[in-house]
Homo-oligomer: A and B are copies of this chain.
Amino acid sequence: MKDKFLSTDSYKGVRDFYPDDMAIQSYIFDVWSQTAESFGYERYDASVLEPAILYKSKGAENEELVNEQTYTFLDRGEREVTLRPEMTPTVARMVAGKRHELVFPLRWYSIPNLFRYERAQRGRLREHWQLNCDLFGADDVSADIEILALAHQMLINFGATEDMFEIKVNNRAEMTKLYSELGINDEELVNKITKLNDQKAKISKADYTESMEKILKDRKLTLAVIKMVEEKVTDHELIKGLATLGINNATIDRSIARGFDYYTGTVFEIFDKSPENNRALLGGGRYDNLTAMFGGNTVTGIGFGMGDVTMRDFLETHDLLTANITSPTIMVIPAETNLNIEAQKIAKQFREADIKVATDMSQKKVGKKISDAGKQFVEFALIFGEDELNSSTFTLKNLTDGTEQSGTLTELINNLTT
């Protein structure tokens, strides 16, 4: 019997947003947008569908990764299409497409949904939303400072304080120089060290040292590399620049690597300092060749991405989440269903005064209508019958404290709006 009916579950690994979850999602997106726009960033967007070639252009290894880890399929015109797994290739495509018309420095942001095909496991979703902020066409250190200040402000504007998170900064070009000073110039070797450093926080000190020695095949060099990675750097122009803007929770961390191989200079991550929540909240870096695959002059840039799931975890962990449900302010409740159209007329008057209002035109009893309005987080109920209509005097009941106020509709509207 049960098999006759369809399941009400969503597709595996994606989320339904019922109004209570949607309200939180909208709140997060609003703070992201307002913060980005306060720094002069303009919003853009594109379709989730992109030509698969956009992600495959870096050789066979990449092609395999795209096939395994993304949603990629053939359309009926034999075009290979991918559901975007990240926004950076899309924004590079769009900037390259209009690079002769766009005015630089160019500040853009977007809040795309991104897809990854992964075995569904606890906390790993196949779709998430991500704020992307990018500053193109400026390679001065102050551009790096701005993007870090913007990332920092994103958290401050949710009510976070500097003790709740830390900014860890590194620089790919500086790392190349530091390895070179130790006599390590082989690119492949540097990549292996970088990958190991990326794991550093997740493994024991002994394992880290042992793995490093396996890579370097030299005990003395191993210790020199580890010393260099672990050294506390205080004299760095980025950190000093941030301090002049009042930002004091950023440090240089030579183990920060970032996965994407398009980064060329500054790379950074922001971590939640709460031990419950140890994933990076945000990450980004500088890229200088991102538009190269489209030909023409390359455009430099620096940017970051931050996801909705880790953001919400952070806000919940630090008790910063403010509920923001878009319930109506007033429920107009007719005593009889033959007054349902009169209820609409009353609602219209409140609405014209910019008050959110709905009516309950159902067959339920008045008492049930009132308690249901309370369940929907409505603030006031206006219950009326023929008497109220004849006398033009109505009563507004506060559903939180039970208090009442009476008057004409004009008087009640004035009380609510002044």
Contacts and interface: CB of A to CB of B under 8 A. Distances in A.
Interface in A52-104: 53-54, 57, 71, 73, 75-77, 79, 81, 93-94, 96-98, 103-104
Interface string A306-318: 0000000000000
Interface in A339-361: 340-341, 343-345, 347-348, 351, 354, 356-361
A149 B344 contact: yes
Contacts of A326: 37, 42-43
7 contacts: A11-B79, A16-B45, A17-B45, A18-B44, A19-B42, A142-B341, A244-B345
Contact of A57 (B6, B53, B77, B115): B6
A325 interface: yes
Contacts of A343: 142
Interface of A: 2, 4-12, 14-19, 22-23, 25-26, 37-40, 42-51, 53-54, 57, 71, 73, 75-77, 79, 81, 93-94, 96-98, 103-105, 107-108, 113, 115, 117, 126-127, 137-138, 140-143, 145-146, 149, 241, 244-246, 293-295, 325-328, 331, 337, 340-341, 343-345, 347-348, 351, 354, 356-362, 372, 375-376
B362 A54 contact: no
A75 B7 CA distance: 18
Contacts of A19: 42-44, 108
How many copies of this chain?
2
Contacts of A358: 39-40, 105, 107
A344 B42 contact: no
Contacts of A327: 40, 42
Contacts of A107: 358
A97 B40 contact: no
Given A245-B348, A356-B40, A293 B6 contact: yes
A46 B75 contact: no
B51 A356 contact: no
Nearest to A293: B6
B293 A354 contact: no
Contacts of A81: 11
A97 B8 contact: yes
A46 B347 CA distance: 30
Given A357-B40, A372-B103, A11 B51 contact: yes
Contacts of A4: 295
Nearest to A351: B38
B11 A145 contact: no
Given A5-B293, A351-B38, A12 B79 contact: yes
